Structure 1
Amino acid sequence: MKVIVAGMPKTGTKSIMLALQKLGMNTYDYMESYEYYKKDWIRIFQEGGTVEDFRRMYQGVDAVADSPVWYYWEELLEAFPETKIVLSTRESEDVWMKSFKNQVEKFNNPIMSLLGYLSPSYMKFLNYSKILGVSLFRTVGNSTKMNELSLRMIYRRHINYIMQKAPKDKLLVYSAKEGWEPLCNFLDIDVPTEPFPHKNVRGNIFEDMMANHPLMIRMQHEMYISLAILTGLLAFGSYKTLTVGPGQILTYWCDFGKTILNKVMNILQ
């Protein structure tokens, strides 16, 4: 591993990771950590992990960023001691808080609500995200409601802790607005001639992921299939009600509901 981007979400991590990709690095962001290592991470959230766990999980990856790796930067550094640390920051705590709240609000929309009911893949993703929220952001139980005071304290303490604990010769405190030069000089890489990339400006990552990310596209396909199945079942249920009577159809739907619930529980395990 070459780079740990240890800044919290909404500190320019998406832009930095895209820049590192353009510099030829194999990068793992939030979605890659989820897709490839969700079982490992859930175990780490709940039971803890070892240096060997982190080394196994990210062997061969050049750069990592976003949740949950920003929280475990120290353990990753122990697993990959030659790695350099990029602490991405915003202009101020207030700017970061506003951006973070805007990002969360972008994902609180009718499409995501439908996915929560109709996509088995999203059910797994939502379960993982809630466990992560409790572990990293101190949300309460399964709640996704933000506690602004707590979030500000986490942001402040995270930056101060890295500034105190990270090896000074391996640390770059950096804003994506600074462009290529500080980043490339820190990594001892030639500065590209193309403009520095900027991604997730004003929280538009939701639209980008829904249109382009394979996992999010699969979730949407599952939602459409579930809607089609539910429409067919409702039509069939209406027909059965007319032909066999409401007493028998109630028993049928109760048995059917139990079957579906058992299948959903098996998916989430």
Structure 2
Amino acid sequence: MKVIVAGMPKTGTKSMFAALTLLGYEVYDWMENFYYLGDDWLTINEKGGNISDFRRMYENVDAVTDSPPCMYWEELAEAFPEAKIILTIRDETKWYNSMVGQMESLSNDYLLKCMLAFTYTGWKCVQYRKFALGLLGIRNVWPWTRLTLFNEEAMRRMFRKHNDDVLKRAPKDRLLVYRVNEGWEPLCKFLDVEIPKNIPFPHKNKGASLVKELLKEDDIMIYMERQLYVFFAIVFFVLAVVCVKYFF
């Protein structure tokens, strides 16, 4: 592990995932964490974990973003003492409004609901969400219900407390406080890597466009979509056989 992005979701974590990937890092974001390590995280939630667990889970991963690793940044920093820590920050009100917008977007995406309800990968994701979304103050994780946040005051307090904890507890020589609109220069300087030439800094999930972007770019989401189409094909075939048998 080389980089721990400790910023909460909706502080530019999807942009950080894309930026770190462009810099050559093997990055685990939300999708990778649930797909490859979901069972480990559920065990940590139920029974707890130790430093050796985190070392095993991320021994071949260069960087992590999003939940739940951002909520366990301190344990990860202890497990990987050479890793650098990046706290992505954002205006509190803009962050909260963006969280609300993201929940509305996900709640209204019926393709996503079908993928979560009718595919094996989707079911794995639902089980993981019960844990990971709970860390963020998000309730109602069943695919057909609307995602809702805890009350605004509690969410704002959680946001401030998380950022304050990172600022107070992270070693200063390992920490970068960063806004994604600052672009490549401060990030690359902190990581001691060259700035990509002729490549603009990525800005992802603008306007809560997460699902559309993932369906174009993320292998796990694309695989989940294919599983859904296979499910529908099987259902259609079975219904056709039944109709032929009983009505013709």
User: What is the TM-score with the length of structure 1 in the denominator?
Assistant: 0.82
Name the residue aligned to 2:194.
190
Aligned pair in 2 of structure 1 residues 203, 232: CA closer, same or farther (>3 Å)? same
Superposed displacement of residue 35, structure 1: 1.8
**SS state at 1:230 partner:** helix
Name the residue aligned to 2:36.
36
Residue by residue over 1:57-109, the C-alpha shift from the partner in whole angstroms, topping out at 9 and shown as x without a partner, is 1113221111111000000000011111100011x111011111222222222
Name the residue aligned to 2:239.
234
Q: 2:165 aligns with which of 161, 164, 171?
A: 161
1:86 partnered with 2:86: yes
Aligned pair in 2 of structure 1 residues 228, 177: CA closer, same or farther (>3 Å)? same
Name the residue aligned to 2:156.
152
Query: Residue 27 of structure 2 contacts residue 64 of structure 2 at CA under 8 Å; is this kept in 1?
Result: yes
Query: Residue 140 of structure 2 contacts residue 148 of structure 2 at CA under 8 Å; is this kept in 1?
Result: no
**SS state at 2:129 partner:** helix
Aligned pair in 2 of structure 1 residues 205, 140: CA closer, same or farther (>3 Å)? closer
CA distance in 1, matches of 2:52, 2:63: 18
Aligned pair in 2 of structure 1 residues 164, 120: CA closer, same or farther (>3 Å)? same
- Count residues with an aligned counterpart: 241
Query: Residue 55 of structure 1 contacts residue 79 of structure 1 at CA under 8 Å; is this kept in 2?
Result: yes
Superposed displacement of residue 140, structure 1: 5.0
Name the residue aligned to 1:203.
208
* Bigger-Rg structure (1/2): 1
Superposed displacement of residue 241, structure 1: 5.5
CA distance in 1, matches of 2:50, 2:213: 35
CA distance in 2, matches of 1:235, 1:24: 49
Name the residue aligned to 2:123.
123
After TM superposition, the runs of 4+ consecutive aligned structure 1 residues lying more than 6 A away are none
CA distance in 2, matches of 1:241, 1:176: 61
Q: 5+ unaligned residues in a row in structure 2: which ranges?
A: none
User: What is the TM-score with the length of structure 2 in the denominator?
Assistant: 0.88
Query: Residue 8 of structure 1 contacts residue 88 of structure 1 at CA under 8 Å; is this kept in 2?
Result: yes
Name the residue aligned to 1:255.
none
Q: 5+ unaligned residues in a row in structure 1: which ranges?
A: 244-269
Percentage of matched positions with identical amino acids: 42
Name the residue aligned to 2:27.
27
**SS state at 1:11 partner:** coil
Superposed displacement of residue 18, structure 1: 1.9
Q: Which has the higher helix share?
A: 1
Q: 2:227 aligns with which of 222, 229, 235?
A: 222
The letter for the 2-side match of 1:101 is V
Superposed displacement of residue 183, structure 1: 1.3
Name the residue aligned to 1:47.
47
Query: Residue 45 of structure 1 contacts residue 132 of structure 1 at CA under 8 Å; is this kept in 2?
Result: no
35-44 vs 136-145, greater mean Cα deviation: 136-145
**SS state at 1:59 partner:** coil
Superposed displacement of residue 141, structure 1: 7.0
Query: Residue 210 of structure 1 contacts residue 217 of structure 1 at CA under 8 Å; is this kept in 2?
Result: yes
Superposed displacement of residue 142, structure 1: 4.9
CA distance in 1, matches of 2:141, 2:202: 35
CA distance in 2, matches of 1:29, 1:139: 18
Query: Residue 114 of structure 1 contacts residue 223 of structure 1 at CA under 8 Å; is this kept in 2?
Result: yes
List aligned pairs for 1:247-258, cutoff 5 A.
Answer: none
The letter for the 2-side match of 1:147 is F
Name the residue aligned to 2:113.
113
Superposed displacement of residue 236, structure 1: 4.1
Aligned pair in 2 of structure 1 residues 198, 141: CA closer, same or farther (>3 Å)? closer
Superposed displacement of residue 227, structure 1: 1.9
The letter for the 1-side match of 2:17 is M
CA distance in 1, matches of 2:172, 2:132: 29
